[in-house]
Amino acid sequence: MTDQTVDKPPRARRTSFPYLLLVPATVALVVALGYPLVRQVILSFQDYGLAQQFGKPPEWVGVDNYRELVTDPYLWRVTLRSLVFCLVNAAATMVIGVGLALLMRHMAKGVRLLLQTGLLLAWAMPVVASLTVWQWLFDTNYGVINYALTKLGFDYEGHPWLLQPLSFFFVATVIVVWMSVPFVAFTVYAALTQVPEELMESAEIDGAGAGGRLRHIVFPAIRPVLLVVALLQVIWDLRVFTQIYILQQAGGSTRDTNLLGTYIYRLGIGGGKFGMAAAVAIFMLVLTVLLTAPYVRSMLKQERED
């Protein structure tokens, strides 16, 4: 009986070359994100104003900026206002976006393409241009919204939408949701196309209704996508700036309609208190982390289960 040698597969050689390829991207990421963050943290512990922009050395004040902020009732009003605005907008965007995605799945091809084209145009429109249109729609004297509501029998002739905080945020919510819905609708629709039709048909044969199929098949299948989209919406809606700032410029009361984004801008650029503005920015970063932590934990749990 002859001995037969078994050829063993060559062991994969460990090489550092793949890690070397990651070095340029890692360095660029650290420089682009790490340095501004560190600079912001340092600035938040300094008294940095207009004089420092002309060469005067900044004064180290430690936690004085944070102490002054947390004892300022206005900061907490702005924070509560920002949280409510964020959660309302994120919830409305998710409900409308997911609803449109579900509708697109059952639409005829021509109707679906028409709807997708409209959503894409709304998403691609420049922010400033679209805000100009919305301002005209809600204009006090010449707005289409006031005209239409008046014709329907409501007393909205000359209604100043941007002068009252509640109606101001209603207009802002309409604009923010209108700009955000296309992203949610497209992303969720792409996820829905990956749900097996055979599974849906089997559930229908077994007697599951439309609600049961959504609850037990569709939503569990696209749950990771829903979590990511919801996480992004919360982050984007918490740090919204452009829409609020332009509406304020169009006639809104600044103090009664400030959110954290516009409050930081007006502290720094408007008031020259860059140290205080940096402290509010760090506060906003911590708030964002706390607000998005449940979503991150859910995503990590989902990944472990998969």
In a domain, 173, yes or no: yes
pTM value is 0.83
Write down the pLDDT at residue 14: 62
In a domain, 9, yes or no: no
Report how far residue 297's alpha carbon sits from residue 153's, in angstroms, rounded to the nearest whole number: 50
CATH code of the domain in which 174 resides: 1.10.3720.10
CB contact set of 75 (below 8 Å; sequence gap of 6+): 69, 263, 280, 283
pLDDT in tens, 244-256: 999 998 877 788 8
Residue 299 lies in domain: 30-305
Write down the pLDDT at residue 1: 47
pLDDT in tens, 284-298: 999 998 888 888 888
Which residue is it, tokens 């209108």?
A: 178
Q: Could you state, in chain order, the average pLDDT of each consecutive group of 10 residues for the chain (306 residues)?
A: 50 70 87 86 86 80 88 93 94 94 88 90 87 88 88 84 90 94 93 80 71 77 88 91 90 85 89 89 91 82 73
Write down the pLDDT at residue 18: 81
Neighbours of 259 (CB within 10 A): 27
In a domain, 180, yes or no: yes
DSSP character at residue 2: -
Query: Is residue 165 within 8 Å of residue 251, measured between CB atoms?
Result: no
Which two three-digit tokens encode residue 155?
A: 């007393």
In a domain, 24, yes or no: no
Write down the pLDDT at residue 13: 55
- What is the three-class DSSP state of 73? helix
Helix, strand, coil: what percent of the chain each, to 5?
Answer: 75, 0, 25
Pick from 279, 259, 277: nearest CA to 269: 277
In a domain, 4, yes or no: no
Tell me how many domains the chain contains. Answer: 1
Write down the pLDDT at residue 10: 52
